[in-house]
Amino acid sequence: MPFKDIIGHDKTIRDIQRLMDEDRLPHALLFTGPEGIGKKLTGFSIAKALMCKESKNDFCDSCPSCQSISKGNHPDVALIQPEGNSIKIEQMREWQKTLEYRPYLGSHRVTIIDQAEKMTQAAANSILKALEEPPLGTLICLVTIETRDMLPTIVSRCQVVRFSPLSCSDFCKILLDKSNISGPQARLVYNISKGQLSKGISMNMDYLSKLRDEWIGSFRSPSFDNISVTKTDQANLLEGLEIMAYWVRDMVLLQLGVDDALLTHQDMLGELKKEARKVPYRLAMHRIDIILQTMEALQNNANPKIAMDCLLWQWDKSTNKEMVMI
């Protein structure tokens, strides 16, 4: 998997390769951007490119050096991740001891600090010297979502590399290559995972399909006879409501004549078209508002039972009002 095979970050990869070609790669890089879109993968790819025996400033992904990095046992490549809820000072001290020695197999030593925002204050302060005066051949890649979550003294010592969210087409292309998910389901996974590729690849489609059937089946009934409003699992409620929001949104898009390829629930197109003919546009838009308000309430820690009772009341009220107007 050479650099050219990293999908969705063409400009970022070109900039990194140009710096490598010009021998100007900074000793400290701070990768920022949405979760699960390839930041850590890019860090490991740079490590491979620096150590690959077959390619210059790129990597073959098949030589012993590339393979050992992929397997996580290369002596000159380290991955530091949170232990529990944080990256601790003890982890950083152990890592800094390795910087006292020359690389074992090549000219570089690469360290990737994943979820760098989870470093404790002591851990973050302890790496400032390494970031400012690193040993020759040292590359440190810090991975985070937002620079605002990092100490300003760390950010100022790194070159910030911003990763944009994956487009839906890029996401679906990778997803179809790396999972058993079908093409029509890919856009649903993209929307539910918020474009987080790692989350999308690991998503259980059997669970997602069952959840979708339950919620869409329940919401077809004006009185919500089939839905359990005693659920206390906030995460499940939010997932179900989000699936339903996209379902109603798809109905609106169909009513507006939008291309079917832009629908989230493409694999249920026939049923969507039937529903879109039954539900007036104004009512569908109001239902989306009701769902989004309920999701916001749950995200603000509203009581799930009360939040769902309010949703059911508003839904029933809006349905009856629309029927009266008709």
* Domain end (from 109, 133, 162): 162
- Residues 9 and 136 placed together within one structural domain of the fold: yes
Q: Of the ranges 105-114, 203-212, 245-254, 283-292, which one carries the lowest mean pLDDT score?
A: 203-212
> Range of 19's domain?
3-162
pLDDT of residue 215: 84
**Residue 189 located in a structural domain:** no
* Domain end (from 107, 139, 162): 162
Count of domains in the chain?
2
- Residues 29 and 147 placed together within one structural domain of the fold: yes
* Domain end (from 111, 133, 162): 162
**Residue 169 located in a structural domain:** no
Question: With 70 as the cut, is the pLDDT of residue 227 above it?
Answer: no
- Residues 10 and 157 placed together within one structural domain of the fold: yes
* CATH of residue 224: 1.20.272
Question: With 90 as the cut, is the pLDDT of residue 139 above it?
Answer: yes
Q: For residues 146 and 35, give the distance between their C-alpha atoms in angstroms, rounded to a whole number.
A: 10
Higher pLDDT among residues 226 and 197, named by residue: 197
State the residue for tokens 């109001």: 286
Contact 134, 27 (CB under 8 A): yes
pLDDT of residue 150: 93
Structure tokens at 271: 């049923």
Question: With 50 as the cut, is the pLDDT of residue 326 above it?
Answer: no
- Residues 151 and 11 placed together within one structural domain of the fold: yes
**Residue 186 located in a structural domain:** no
- Residues 157 and 211 placed together within one structural domain of the fold: no
Contact 186, 175 (CB under 8 A): yes
- Residues 39 and 135 placed together within one structural domain of the fold: yes
**Residue 269 located in a structural domain:** yes
- Residues 124 and 234 placed together within one structural domain of the fold: no
Q: Of the ranges 108-117, 179-188, 267-276, 281-290, which one carries the lowest mean pLDDT score?
A: 179-188
- Residues 222 and 305 placed together within one structural domain of the fold: yes
Question: With 70 as the cut, is the pLDDT of residue 170 above it?
Answer: yes
* CATH of residue 82: 3.40.50.300
What is the value of pTM for the model shown? 0.79
Buried b (16+ CB within 10 A) or exposed e, 234-252: eeebebbbbbbbbbbbbbb
pLDDT of residue 220: 66
Q: For residues 287 and 307, give the distance between their C-alpha atoms in angstroms, rounded to a whole number.
A: 15
- Residues 210 and 77 placed together within one structural domain of the fold: no
- Residues 226 and 297 placed together within one structural domain of the fold: yes
Helix (H, G, I), strand (E, B) or coil at 52: coil
pLDDT of residue 325: 44
Write the pLDDT tens digit of every residue in 315-324.
877 666 554 4
Q: Based on the number of CB atoms within 10 Å of its own CB, is 196 exposed (0-12), middle (13-18) or buried (19 or more)?
A: buried
- Residues 259 and 320 placed together within one structural domain of the fold: yes
Write the pLDDT tens digit of every residue in 68-96.
999 999 999 999 999 999 999 999 999 99
- Residues 233 and 305 placed together within one structural domain of the fold: yes
pLDDT of residue 323: 45
**Residue 282 located in a structural domain:** yes
pLDDT of residue 221: 61
**Residue 94 located in a structural domain:** yes
Write the pLDDT tens digit of every residue in 237-292.
888 899 999 999 999 999 999 998 889 998 899 999 999 998 899 999 999 999 99
